[in-house]
Structure 1
Amino acid sequence: MNSNKKLLIAVFSIILISLFSFKIKLSDRYFEIIKNLDIFTTLYKELNTYYVDEINPTDLMEIGIEAMLESLDPYTNFIPEDRIEDYRIMSTGQYGGIGTAMGKFDGRNIVLMAFEGSPAEKAGIKIGDEIIAIDKVDIREKDTDEINTLLKGQIGTSLDVTVKRYGEKKPLKFTVDRARINVESVPYYGLIEEDIAYIRLTEFSSGAGSDVRRALIELKDKGAKKVILDLRGNGGGLLNESIEVSNVFVPKGYEIVSTKGKIEEWNKSYTATKNPLDVNIPLVVLINNGSASASEIVSGVIQDYDRGVLVGQKSFGKGLVQATRPLSYNSQLKLTTAKYYIPSGRSIQAIDYSHRNEDGSIGQIPDSLKSPFKTKSGRVVYDGGGISPDSKVEDEGYAPITVQLIKNGFIFDFATTYYYKNQENIPDPKTFEIPEQLFKEFTIWLENKNYHYYSDTERMLSKLKEQSKKDKFHEFIDDELANLEKEIQNHKSEDVQVFQEEIKSVLKEEIISRFHKRQGMIEASFESDIEVVHAVEILNNEIKYKELLKAN
């Protein structure tokens, strides 16, 4: 037998052994599935039959399913039939309802926003109204989710809403017809300066790409020669809409994103399929820790092609793709099927869910395991941890006093009282400021309100006191710690004055929202928004803009 024949026989034997081994492994896998399903079924049956207390079979099963999926990642979820509508709203941005955003302050169910042109607004419901009954059912003890469920329903049906309103002695009743509510992906667009367009994109629901394209066309017609695209707090949405939004600024045929998963035939590369609107207009994209998924695809594309400058903080780091699979009884499974990769080839997934610590916890991908990639011009960028901005702006957040005033609804309630006392004097969002006299009225109004808060410094001091007792040092430092606590309290009593500029800014936006809804609220924030201010500075400095996009 010559060497060629021996080689052919050897190769053929290896193939047969591989196929046989594959069949054995596949068979073993199927056996494991069948065996464990049988164990689970018998266990479930025994629990329901013999457990000492009554068990709700549906609740028990959902707990089991959710615990199983929780061991994978936060984005793989079971969607039972009664939650399908919520999922549809999330994926399409549409639902049947009256168009309100609800919240709870001091046990009161308050209308935080009645959206422009919504059935609620048309019926006469206003921001600040306390809903006390829906279809004559008292809802004061219900939580916000329960109330939202009652307000939603089939398009064309009506409901009676009873509210308490500031300045009215008796409750007001409204009949509201439910309609199709489209959750706007672009709640605001306009000119910040004569030639700078600003577009706020809050979610990648159906039509987001068209909305961004349409907004930019209109703003360019008004003279825009530069643009800010705001993706802060945008948690993502539909993958195809991230492609559409990217395609507004990058040429047709450019790769936007690719996906890779277990099922090879599902792996895809997505390219821009339309003619772009403008591939040269100077662009700044705002991102922060709340920018995730589809937001990271868009910002990553803009960065990888050096198409614009990213400003803000590092994005969330969600590079996982989900798909839904139909299950029996009209339920569905939303599961992670792939990871996505942006044009430079990098993944921005920050957490490796497939490798857990011994205690079951999950850690971020360490810097040592992150790999360098290059943008089109040769700038170095990294994978494994979100998208890093080209120009970082520190997010200092609000002072504890401001957070407490917002959380307790005091700023919200004062804005409501201001509105009903000043309905004839409609403020301009671009020019309105809180005068000293109005702020003084606010501080007087606060005097009988309880807005005690516990700062991080006080928490650390409390831990120090506990530790000093364990270490037997408390006898030596008790007086110093007591003096420090007293000093902190003295400063806290002055916090409303110390942080008055910050509080004025929040109060200004809240007052504007009463007269001009969301659009006015966004417009009123520009002057104090440090990321927007920084973006304008970059766009107005051509040398700095180009420098940020140039490889070192």
Structure 2
Amino acid sequence: MRQIHYILVTLLVAMATGAQGQENSNSATSRNLDLFSDIYKQLDLFYVDTLNADTVIGWGIRSMLRQVDPFTDFYPEDDDELRQMSTGKYAGIGCMVRYSSKEKRTVISEPYEGTPCQQAGLLAGDVLLSVDGHDTYALPVDKVSEMLRGEAGTSLDIKVRRGEEEKTFHVTRQTIQMPSVDYWGMLDDSVGYIFLEAFREGAFREVRDALGELRGQGARSLVLDLRGNGGGAVDECVNIASLFLPRGQHLMSTKGKLPSTNYDYRTALEPVDTLMPIVLMVDGGSASCSEILAGGMQDLDRAVLLGERTFGKGLVQSVRELDSGGTLKMTTCRYYIPSGRCIQAYDYRHLNADGSAKTLPDSLTHVFHTAGGREVRDGGGVMPDVKAQPDSLPTMIYDLTASDEFFAYTTRYAREHADSINPMTFTLSDREYADFVSYIQGSGLKFSRRSAELLHLLRRVSQSEGYADDAKAQFDALEEVFSKDVTADLEHFREPVKKALEDEIVLDACMQRGAIRRIAARDKNVKKAAEILRNKEEYNKILGK
């Protein structure tokens, strides 16, 4: 009896402590909301300039959400961005645009295949002069993008400059559905390839249909490319996994603060093929649903993972409509894949001195085991079974390909040679590459070199420390290396520049499907994935079978 009495007292104390803790939390919330309201009222009454409440309070909201994690965000009532991100749908003409500093106008960078933009005849490189009579000169690119969107079925007139010619196109907006599968095809007579760019609405259907077509063409194994795939809808991810796993197979579970966020995800559909050998390709851009699919297939020994460590996003977001208008997307739980591990790599609640999120060192991660007993770890993304790095490129390649000059050259070349460009065989001749070098040289394009900047800083430091004269010869030799002009760079890095140039021209002429088809056929890591699939003994050895 005394023991029962002790237990009851303990429970009552615990309940009282919990209630007090909740009361203290509610009190702190109320107090701080009152403080925020009071501060804004004082600003509104006495600040020297008139304040816009939507703007200033909007700053406060976004500042608060930034302190939580990068995935929690607020979307105003009239903002369609969240719906577009989750579904891939929007009403517009169907293209990507970019701002040209040289033109001081927005230009079409990539029409999407089968959309009003392409069907009307607009091309990559077209400079937008006006939209429905409104001049676009110096307008921000997001403003012009907003002008191109609107209700499906409505029309607009777009005036562009193409080379020296001005043209006007009458275009009718449609509901644009961004595909999740950008390309699928056969790598050889037995290995199929699917590039899954995102887990948007309809991704499962697209993968299922592509898989069916590949199997009909003789595919007996599959490369599923998730590189750069930042995630999407969990249901689409689970359904895609169900193509390759037995029905009822546990894929992941979620755990959060509230019991309503705890859920066990299992495959609910009949599989298409539970035996087909699969290589999943991943990299640092593979996140969220990509990691659920890749980590789940790894934990179940159902696929070989090839590539680089994934991003490490083990958090799940939910969407809540607010009574006051707008939508809050916020992190509500963590997910755990079949081995029991959570692959979250970043601690957003504890930051480093530079403001970046802390990460867990590999030495402090925990060991888990796949269904077949292979060791895997938590806390740092998903490590591939076979590591494969992409080719490293000099920084000048990134500067070059991002420049207006590079874009203007590739789009002009694509327009002038569109009928003769085959994505699988296209190459530039030596004369054409020399023409490109001359064009860039005449454009005045310059690259900022970090090495030259650091050398300049080192000279100053050595001067202050009294070593400048002793190191002058070495500094002069380094400066000669680092001070090459653009022409010398384009010759020194001829092969990677030429490859980037050819790939961009194919994208401009043959659009994304043609570009990915070309890249997949030439990618050394795609070839490595196919080699693993052709070698059944090596494939099984990697999976510990």
Residue number among 64, 68, 78 corresponding to 1:68 in the alignment = 64
Mark the CA change 1:464 to 1:547 in structure 2 (over 3 Å): closer, same or farther.
farther
Mark the CA change 1:163 to 1:464 in structure 2 (over 3 Å): closer, same or farther.
same
Counting only pairs closer than 5 Å after superposition, residues 266-415 of structure 1 correspond to structure 2 as 266-357=261-352, 361-415=356-410
- Which residue of 1 is the match for residue 190 of structure 2? 195
Q: Aligned partners of 1:529, 1:410: CA distance in 2, in Å?
A: 26
- Which residue of 1 is the match for residue 504 of structure 2? 510
Q: Aligned partners of 2:16, 2:354: CA distance in 1, in Å?
A: 38
Deviates more, 1:250-259 or 1:530-539: 530-539
Q: Aligned partners of 1:413, 1:33: CA distance in 2, in Å?
A: 55
Cα deviation, residue 47, structure 1: 1.1
Cα deviation, residue 238, structure 1: 1.0
1:185-215 CA-partner distances (Å, limit 9, x unpaired): 1111111222221111111111111111110
Cα deviation, residue 252, structure 1: 1.1
Counting only pairs closer than 5 Å after superposition, residues 95-494 of structure 1 correspond to structure 2 as 95-105=90-100, 106=102, 107-168=104-165, 171-357=166-352, 361-423=356-418, 425-490=419-484, 493-494=487-488
Q: Aligned partners of 1:23, 1:548: CA distance in 2, in Å?
A: 53
Secondary structure in 2 aligned to 1:181? strand
Answer yes or no: is the 8 Å Cα contact 1:322–1:335 preserved in 2: yes
Answer yes or no: is the 8 Å Cα contact 1:404–1:451 preserved in 2: no
Answer yes or no: is the 8 Å Cα contact 1:251–1:275 preserved in 2: yes
Mark the CA change 1:533 to 1:499 in structure 2 (over 3 Å): closer, same or farther.
farther
Cα deviation, residue 66, structure 1: 1.2
Unaligned runs of 5+ in 2: none
Q: Aligned partners of 1:420, 1:491: CA distance in 2, in Å?
A: 29
Q: Aligned partners of 1:498, 1:358: CA distance in 2, in Å?
A: 39
Q: Aligned partners of 2:398, 2:354: CA distance in 1, in Å?
A: 34
Deviates more, 1:267-276 or 1:460-469: 460-469
- Which residue of 2 is the match for residue 47 of structure 1? 43
2:158 counterpart letter in structure 1: V
Mark the CA change 1:74 to 1:225 in structure 2 (over 3 Å): closer, same or farther.
same
Answer yes or no: is the 8 Å Cα contact 2:257–2:332 preserved in 1: yes
1:50-102 CA-partner distances (Å, limit 9, x unpaired): 1122211111101111111111111111212232x111111111000000101
Cα deviation, residue 492, structure 1: 6.1
1:428 counterpart letter in structure 2: N
Answer yes or no: is the 8 Å Cα contact 1:509–1:522 preserved in 2: no
Secondary structure in 2 aligned to 1:211? helix
1:206-236 CA-partner distances (Å, limit 9, x unpaired): 1111111110101110111121111111111
Cα deviation, residue 549, structure 1: 1.4
Q: Aligned partners of 2:509, 2:474: CA distance in 1, in Å?
A: 51
Q: Aligned partners of 2:89, 2:194: CA distance in 1, in Å?
A: 21
How many residues in Structure 1 have an aligned counterpart in Structure 2? 543
Answer yes or no: is the 8 Å Cα contact 2:287–2:313 preserved in 1: yes
Q: CA RMSD in A?
A: 1.9
1:175 counterpart letter in structure 2: H
Matched, 1:501 2:495: yes
Mark the CA change 1:438 to 1:25 in structure 2 (over 3 Å): closer, same or farther.
same
Q: Aligned partners of 1:250, 1:466: CA distance in 2, in Å?
A: 62
Q: Aligned partners of 1:401, 1:11: CA distance in 2, in Å?
A: 71
Q: Aligned partners of 2:276, 2:349: CA distance in 1, in Å?
A: 41
TM-score of the pair, normalised by structure 2: 0.95
TM-score of the pair, normalised by structure 1: 0.94
Answer yes or no: is the 8 Å Cα contact 2:180–2:199 preserved in 1: yes
Answer yes or no: is the 8 Å Cα contact 2:86–2:233 preserved in 1: yes
Identical aligned residues as a percent: 35
Unaligned runs of 5+ in 1: none
